[in-house]
Amino acid sequence: MQEIMDFNIAVSLEAATATLVAEADCPLGQVYGTSAWPRPDELRLASRPLGELLFSRLFPGAVNGLYQRCRGRLAGGPGKLRVRIRAATRATDRAIRDLHSIPWELLRDPHGVGFLALDHQVQLVRYLNLPALVPGELVLTGRKLEILVASASPSDREPLRWDDEHASIERAFAGSTTRVKLLRRATRATLFAELSTQRYDVLHFIGHGNGPADLQPGTVLLEDEHGLSQPVSAGEFAEMLQVTRPPLLVFLNACSTAELAVQSHRDLASSVAPALALRGIPAVVGMVNLVYDTDAITFARTVYERLAQGASLEAAVHVARVAVRLGQSDEMSWTIPVVFSRATAGAAPVPQVAAPAPVHPQPPAPSSRDDRADHMPNTTVRDNNGTIINGGQVGQLTINHKSNP
């Protein structure tokens, strides 16, 4: 069995000084460090310099040292380092919102092999801190897997190649006991009826979406009885999925379903993908921005092909990012998918450490599937000399199936 080493990074924001506090926890020890919170003008840098800046802020000093030790431990073998980014338990609502508005999928180690999300040794995922408990292992084995593919391509929006995407999902599970059902031209009524009368392990949505804006929540676009757009808000969509046992995985292959407009909404629940995770869906895949139809189909096809082979969601998403980058329609397409997951039952919080001295950052310098664009860190080390720490364990979603005899 492939070794997975978890590298947990819990982030909090010292608002008074715009300081990012990163607490790292892995089997090799615990450390923390501080750096300047990324400024809005810095977030407008090109992908490579932005990725390297974000790496320096999330892995300041001793945190980077521990990360490199973990990589060294796995070097030369098939093991993977799962980097899990989440808010610290003491983080404010603002800090949680601001944390998940940063494009961490662009993290780039300037002295490593490049972008972490494309690194064969790394699996990168965002985790949400929730009081609700979930099973320790989100593994679907030994039974028939039920997948609902719901498509909506309203006539007043750009048409989508939903049939190609549906066919690719069916091919991925061909010859297995997994059942893939298609709900064409999904409306509020038909989708609700399907979800309230049948139990599905996976809901895959093909359609258009919007991010939150002007204090309005994000939406997915279903169809009305005339085939026109019917917006469903993040909260409404989450409620629709909770009428029976919710799916273990919701895959939103629609633009901006994971977008976070920091200036125009109050919390994570205003965006569709995090809203579903906050309501109890164990794993949610969403799109943080506009996504081309071709890239969306490539990403979905690759994810399901890997899941059908027994890979974890994190591993499947990693391979799918690489596949999108090789044939992408846009330079940044591989960064658009975002994975949200939730902490598992019995998870111990990342151990808290004494508050570090504040760091004073430099002042700020003067077809798609959518409906609408040097600071030295201060670090402190607290290491346990190799004692294994079981902190913040999170379940791994793996989909297995049995072949027909």
In this structure, what CATH number is given to the domain that contains residue 261? Answer: 3.40.50.1460
350, 334: one domain: no
Residue 88 has pLDDT above 80, yes or no: yes
Q: What is the mean pLDDT of residues 384-401?
A: 35
The pLDDT of residue 95 is above 50: yes
Report the candidate in 235, 238, 220, 222 with the shortest Cα–Cα distance to residue 266: 235
Do 277 and 381 lie in one domain? The reply is: no
Give the pairing type, strands 229-233 and 219-223: antiparallel
Which residues contact residue 59 at a Cβ distance below 8 angstroms, ignoring those fewer than 6 apart?
9, 22, 24, 33, 67
For residue 318, what are its two tokens? 């990693």
233 and 337 fall within a common domain:
yes
pLDDT in tens, 293-312: 999 999 999 999 998 888 88
CA distance 302 to 253: 13
Q: Among 111-125, 144-158, 296-310, 345-359, which stretch is predicted with the lowest mean pLDDT?
A: 345-359
Cα–Cα distances in Å, from 292 out to 47, 85, 288, 367?
Answer: 18, 27, 12, 5
> Residue 288 falls within a domain, yes or no?
yes
Average pLDDT over residues 256-284: 80
Please indicate, yes or no, whether residues 211 and 350 belong to a single structural domain of this protein: no
Q: Which residues contact 12 (CB under 8 A, 6 or more apart)?
A: 20, 21, 23, 87, 88, 90, 91, 95
Phi-psi region for residue 102, left (φ > 0), alpha (ψ -120 to 50) or beta?
beta
Q: What pLDDT does 350 receive?
A: 29
As a whole number, mean pLDDT of residues 47-54 equals 97
Helix (H) or strand (E) holding 56: helix 47-58
Q: Does 88 lie in the same domain as 40?
A: yes
What angle is formed at CA 183 by the lines to CA 177 and CA 186, rounded to 5 degrees?
155
Three-state SS for 320? Answer: helix
- On whether both 21 and 46 belong to a single domain, the answer is yes
For residues 30 and 124, give the distance between their C-alpha atoms in angstroms, rounded to a whole number: 19
Whether the CB-CB separation of 376 and 26 falls below 8 Å is answered with no
Tell me: do 192 and 315 sit in the same domain. Answer: yes
- Three-state DSSP at 20 gives strand
pLDDT in tens, 216-259: 899 999 999 999 999 999 999 999 998 888 899 999 999 999 98
89 in any annotated domain: yes
pLDDT, residue 311, reads: 85
Can you name the residues that pair with 82 across neighbouring β-strands?
Answer: 6, 123
Instruction: Determine contact, residues 365/36, Cβ cutoff 8 Å.
Output: no
SS3 401: coil
Paired residues of 151 in beta bridges? 206
Q: In angstroms, rounded to a whole number, what is the distance separating the alpha carbons of residues 103 and 93?
A: 18
- Where is 102: in which H helix or E strand? none
Q: Report, as an integer, the average pLDDT of 167-180.
A: 93
DSSP structural state of residue 211: -
Assess if residue 153 is contained within a domain.
yes
pLDDT for the residue 124: 92
pLDDT tens column, 363-378: 333 356 655 433 333 3
205 and 319: one domain? yes
User: Domain for residue 405, yes or no?
Assistant: no
Residue 404 forms part of a structural domain: no
Specify the residue for token string 């591989």.
334
Percentage of residues in the chain with pLDDT exceeding 90?
59
d(Cα 96, Cα 110) in Å, to the nearest integer?
A: 26
The verdict on 33 and 107 lying in the same domain is yes
Domain, as residue range, for 19: 4-129+346-366+374-399
**Predicted local distance difference test score (pLDDT) of residue 144:** 73
Identify the three-state secondary structure at position 221.
strand
- Of the pLDDT bands very low, low, confident and very high (cuts 50, 70, 90), residue 328 is low
User: One-letter amino acid identity for 301?
Assistant: R
pLDDT score of 386: 29
Residues 36, 111 within the same domain? yes
Q: CA 206, 155, 327, 58: dihedral to nearest 10 degrees?
A: -60
Let me know whether 254 and 295 are in one domain.
Answer: yes
Query: Does residue 114 sit in the same domain as residue 144?
Result: no
pTM, full prediction: 0.81
Would you say residue 186 lies in a domain? Answer: yes
> What pLDDT is recorded for position 266?
55
Q: How many residues are listed for the chain in this entry? A: 405
- With respect to residue 216, please indicate whether it lies within any of the assigned structural domains: yes
In SS3 terms, 294-315 reads as: HHHHHHHHHHHHHHHCCCEHHH
Q: What is the mean pLDDT of the chain?
A: 82
Residue type, 190: T
> Quick check: is 134 in a domain?
no
Who wins on pLDDT, 50 or 277?
A: 50
Least confident of 181-185, 308-312, 348-352, 362-366: 348-352
Q: In the structure, what pLDDT confidence band is assigned to residue 138 with cuts at 50, 70 and 90?
A: low
Structural domain count, the chain: 2
pLDDT of residue 370: 59
pLDDT tens digits for range 12-22? 999 999 999 99
